Chain A
Amino acid sequence: MTKDKKERGGAAVTASPAPASSTGTTPLLGKGLDIGTANIAAAAQTPDGGVEVTAERNAFLDIKADVYSKNMLTKLKVPYVVHNGNLVVIGQAAFELANIFSRETRRPMCDGMISPSDIEALPMIKLIISKVLGEPAAPNENCYFSVPAESIDADNNVVYHQGLFEGLLRKAGYNAKPINEAHAVVFAELADSDFTGIALSFGGGMVNACIAYKTIPALTFSVARGGDWIDKNVAQVLGVKSSKAAHFKEQGVDIRSPKTREEEAISIYYRNLIHYIMENLAVRFENGQDMPMFPDPIDIVCSGGTSLVGGFTEVFQDEFAKLNFPIPIRKIFRAEEALNSVAKGCLVAAAIGE
């Protein structure tokens, strides 16, 4: 999952210079921002034609503030903020510390939306976004950020969520534009099929779905179940904390052949989640009128951190075979860069403009 990980100093991030084009004259403008429940990732083009994705876990943990702890965190290069007299550890380090001390991290977002119950989390998410996105390369640079679709199984306020991040990014100097999360996956992963097919983004807080025909979304929706839902249920059946369950899940589980009780629980909930999203997709497609008539079978692409578990695609195919899906499907595959897909799709939208 981190084979393409590359570490670099953070100083360049906060004062990121405008990336130059291959000619060295025109900066490559536009950034994509994936605001996920579990991770926040920003994508930008590099002068050599590649894409650089900067990511941080969307979590924090407050610990007692004292000089010793502060010095220790500084030495260990653990990112922290002093807020309301507490030391707040930010990002992946917070997740790791929470596991060590058997605590739960605080999450600025819940079920794909900004958490309304934790106002203190807003400055933290602002810091994380500032860290991964950097400053605009030029005034009013395009920044497309991902927003979830309306949930079919939860009452969530997408308008408030979208408005909050739009305002935040505008304050940071960007021309902020929202784009549906799964639609961004279409832009990133379905170019070979003329941006036609079904894109699923398996995130931490929810799964987003988009059926697109030649870039145009015909159906989008989300379900308020994702990696956190699996963690919560696994934690309940095993009698452990959710962060511990997440730790089990990220330790190389293969859900095709679970070997332990923990892996069995993870496998059960993965199968349930996949079946749930596909069944709802089929029902909504069948019930919707004037859905596009696809002349040829289409592809289904899965992305997002929750799709990274071993055996995901095979289990997805198993569960798909149990359904009488209304559209002929050619291929089911997982995105090559499942963690980057949404950010890259946002970047495509930002680069292409209006």
Chain B
Amino acid sequence: MEPKIDVLASIEAKSRQTSIDDLAKRGKKRVRVIRAKDIALMVEEAIERAVASSDWVPPEQVEELKREAAEEFASVKKESAEEAKLARERDEEIARLREEIEALQLGELETTEKLESAQQSVDTTAEFERELAEARSLAEERHAEIEALRQAMGEQGAELTAVRRRHEELCGELGTAQSQVSELENLIATEAVSPGGEAPADAAPASAMEEDLAAIVGSLDDRLDKLGRKMGVTSAVESDIDYSTLVNSTMAEDEPDLESNMDAVDIEKREGAGIEANLARMKKLRGD
């Protein structure tokens, strides 16, 4: 039997569920149970008896009234259920839309940041490209300068090497010529000190010696002349360089006497071996 009013729903609404364990925890070891359907049946019977015994409604209208009430209740219940369903759907739609809005907002933020970052990259790249171009230009200039310097250094280095080689050649020739001069001087000295002008027993005749000497002198003259030409001095007379103006300009002639105690101060003096032996040996070499 379909209930006229929803007593079951009321019971469900006003009752609560609990577990056996929960009841046990509260000390309830035994409980009485009754089905909700039986309660609803009992309530309906009680109402019908109350209405029938009240005389408020004629007995013939009671059934009609109960049917109309049940229909209206069902209609209201249905509308209420539909409204609840619509409300749930609206809420779900609102929640979905909110999520979409948040997602869009988040996407917009990320896009803005990406845009800004991209713009910065573009700016940096432009700056970098400009600096790179300047650096390239500078490097090219420096490279050209270095190449020019290298070329100049190479030329100067070659020139210097040639000059050095020339200098060493000339020094060598000078050394040889000087050695020959020395030997010649020794020879002349030996001849000069021969006692009484007598030739040594193993010596060549005087005329042959003179010829040899003349040949050596001629050879030496040639070599010295050649050497001189190579050095660019030939037989021109060199004038002495006068440094007096240089010295005078560095140290003024009228420089006042400086206050000093130098005259009253001891100075280190060392005694050394004499130089007579050196002088004697040198004079002998020179033929003095």
A residues near B (Cβ < 8 Å) are 2, 4-11, 13-14, 43, 45-46, 49-56, 73-74, 77-83, 90-92, 119, 122-123, 126-127, 131-132, 159-160, 163-164, 166-168, 170-171, 187-188, 191, 194-195, 213-219, 284, 287-292, 336-337, 339-340, 344, 347-348, 351-352
Contacts and interface: CB of A to CB of B under 8 A. Distances in A.
Contacts of A77: 261, 264-266
A168 B171 contact: no
Contact of A78 (B172, B173, B265, B275): B265
Contacts, number: 200
Interface string B247-282: 110110001001111111111111111111111011
B246 interface: yes
B111 interface: no
Interface stretch (B123-131, B175-183, B194-202): B175-183
25 contacts: A9-B266, A49-B274, A50-B273, A52-B269, A53-B269, A54-B267, A55-B268, A55-B270, A79-B261, A81-B262, A82-B259, A122-B250, A127-B262, A163-B241, A168-B251, A187-B278, A216-B178, A216-B179, A216-B181, A218-B178, A218-B179, A337-B270, A344-B275, A348-B275, A348-B282
B35 interface: no
Interface in B147-173: 165, 168-169, 171-173
A351 B276 CA distance: 10
Contacts of B179: 213-214, 216, 218, 292
A123 B261 CA distance: 15
A291 B175 contact: yes
A237 to B, nearest CB: 31
Closest 3 CB pairs of A and B: A167-B247, A290-B172, A218-B175
Interface residues of B, number: 49
Given A77-B261, A131-B267, 8 more contacts: A13-B267, A50-B271, A74-B261, A79-B260, A167-B243, A194-B285, A340-B270, A348-B275
B19 interface: no
A13 B282 CA distance: 30
B272 A127 contact: no
A46 B273 CA distance: 10
Given A166-B243, A287-B168, A216 B268 contact: no
A167 B244 contact: yes
B269 A284 contact: no
Given A213-B179, A216-B178, A131 B262 contact: yes
Contacts of A7: 266-269
Interface string B210-221: 000000000000
A6 B243 contact: no
B26 interface: no
A43 B175 contact: no
A344 B259 CA distance: 32
B30 interface: no
Contacts of A351: 275, 279
Contacts of B175: 213, 216-219, 290-292
Contacts of A213: 175, 178-179, 182
Nearest to B276: A49
B196 to A, nearest CB: 27
Interface string B79-94: 0000000000000000
Contacts of A8: 266-267, 269
Given A127-B258, A163-B241, A218-B178, A50 B282 contact: no
Contacts of B172: 218, 288-291
A35 B153 CA distance: 36
Contact of B268 (A2, A74, A83): A2
Contacts of A56: 267-268
A281 to B, nearest CB: 13
Given A131-B262, A187-B282, A214-B285, A123 B182 contact: no
A11 B269 CA distance: 13
A127 B281 contact: no
B283 interface: yes
A82 B258 contact: yes
A96 to B, nearest CB: 13
Contact of B282 (A74, A215, A339): A215
A119 B250 contact: yes
B40 to A, nearest CB: 109
A232 B274 CA distance: 36
A133 B168 CA distance: 36
Given A10-B266, A287-B168, A348-B275, A214 B250 contact: no
B169 A289 contact: yes
A195 B282 CA distance: 8
A352 B265 CA distance: 33
B261 A80 contact: yes
Contacts of B171: 218-219, 288
A11 B264 contact: yes
A167 B265 contact: no
A159 B260 CA distance: 31
Contacts of A6: 269-271
A295 to B, nearest CB: 12
B273 A336 contact: yes
A50 B274 contact: yes
Nearest to B247: A167
B275 A167 contact: no
Contacts of A290: 169, 172-173, 175-176
B178 to A, nearest CB: 4
A74 B246 CA distance: 35
